[in-house]
């Protein structure tokens, strides 16, 4: 997919998901026409039930994406607020997986969680 989108800086792919960002509705229409043309020439089809065209904000990989950038989905934040304190290795693994998702937004995440990762290895 990345190969198809190489010359389209407005389009990004992750596995089988794509997102197209545009400043205006007219620009978005032009971007989509370019994208659809390339996908058609490569015989790549899209699933209409997964397509969200013209939305000002979409959920992508647990992030809300809009014209400003990325914010964490409220469901992810709620899950963090309700997380149960880990009492065993399995709980610790779940905790680290959930918080690790936000590592880019938590300053010094690696240093903070290093003792927890060490405890996981020792368990």
**Residue 69: its pLDDT value, please?**
79
Q: Which residues of the chain have pLDDT under 70?
A: 123
**Residue 37: its pLDDT value, please?**
95
**Residue 123: its pLDDT value, please?**
62
Three-state secondary structure along 37-74? HHHHHCCCCCCHHHCCCCCCEEEECCEEEECCCEEECH
**Residue 53: its pLDDT value, please?**
84
**Residue 23: its pLDDT value, please?**
84
**Residue 13: its pLDDT value, please?**
86
How far apart CA 17 and CA 89 sit, in angstroms, is 33
């Amino acid at each position: 997919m990345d190969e198809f989108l190489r010359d389209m800086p407005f389009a990004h792919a992750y596995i089988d998901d794509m997102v197209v960002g545009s400043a205006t509705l007219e620009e978005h229409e032009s971007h989509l026409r370019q994208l659809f043309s390339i996908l058609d020439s490569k015989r790549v089809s899209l699933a209409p039930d997964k397509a969200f065209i013209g939305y000002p904000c979409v959920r992508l990989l647990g992030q809300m994406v809009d014209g400003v950038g990325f914010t964490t989905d409220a469901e992810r934040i709620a899950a963090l607020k309700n997380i149960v304190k880990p009492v065993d290795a399995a709980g610790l693994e779940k905790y680290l997986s959930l918080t690790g998702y936000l590592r880019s937004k938590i300053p010094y995440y690696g240093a903070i969680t290093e003792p927890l990762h060490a405890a996981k290895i020792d368990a």
